[in-house]
Amino acid sequence: MWDYSEKVMDHFLHPRNVGEVENPDGVGEVGSLACGDALKLAFKLDEQGRIKVVKFQTFGCASAIASSSALTELVNGKTLEEALKITNREIAAYLGGLPEEKMHCSVMGREALEAAIANYRGQGQGKKPLEGKIICKCFGVTDKEIERAVKENNLLTLDQVTHYTKAGGGCGGCKPLIQEILDQLVQARVAERPAPHPPKGRLTNIQKIQMIQETLAREVRPALQRDGGDVELIDVVSDRVQVALRGTCSNCPASSVTVHDYIQAKLREFVADDIVVEEVEE
């Protein structure tokens, strides 16, 4: 069972602002029953251009209901410009946090709000605008949506992308494309700041995993990919880092050299000097 905060349970069991708005100024709809989550949000403005009535109808899990309820509380009384500044992370924070696997519910709320405001401004029919190329056909997620989620939430792994967008959560056929987009964005992100040096003191496991992922993206993967190879982080257990070589590297006679003399050396340089890298076959 998911570990929900008291506030999530309160908004799930006693959702605020449920229903329809009479003669709404803007209406937004996202998701579909076929995908498991659907949300309709409508609002009406007062004479000063502030949201005076906002209501929602949703079909989904506890997180979807709670996120929609929280969103209506956050936008009530705000101008449209102020409402558009609310991020999915603010929705989750308002609820005292959401399980990472349910963060797509907060994203869905933000998308419904944006669709409703676009509808009010005459920019759409109240449906989420389709921008970019569809990557995940199961859930209709585009490359632009994936890029936005990665950038706004500092995502680092394919699983995180799925948790925030649902992309890759169906048949899984789009996962290589998602990984390609993720790799490019992570590499661009880490290239913008100077290479970190191992901090003094003990690293938490989360800090260590993040530094390992960033070092692989910045220092290791570009060199391997130039020769048609690649590396994937499989697991981190204490000071042991398990990786799998991909592409030409997977069948290379010198794979042990790549693992120990190159990958391990880079991780010891930029993360921790006691890291041991192990190759696993999948």
Catalytic residue chosen out of the listed positions 61, 105, 171, 174:
105
Nearest to 11 by CA among 67, 59, 50, 85: 67
Catalytic residue chosen out of the listed positions 35, 61, 138, 252:
35
Listed as own residue / partner, the contacts of 275-280 with beta carbons closer than 8 Å and 24 or more positions apart are 275/212, 275/239, 275/240, 275/241, 276/239, 276/240, 276/241, 277/240, 277/241, 277/242, 277/243, 278/240, 278/241, 278/242, 278/243, 279/242, 279/243, 279/244, 279/245, 279/255, 280/234, 280/242, 280/243, 280/244
Residue indicated by tokens 């998602």: 178
Amino acid at 236: V
The total of other beta-carbon atoms located within 10 Å of residue 199's CB is 11
CA distances from 179 to 107, 155, 182, 222 (A): 20, 12, 5, 14
Main-chain dihedrals φ then ψ at residue 40, nearest 5 degrees: -125, 125
| Dist CA 175 CA 135 (whole Å) | 9
Annotated catalytic residue 171:
no
Annotated catalytic residue 35:
yes
Q: Catalytic amino acids?
A: 35, 105
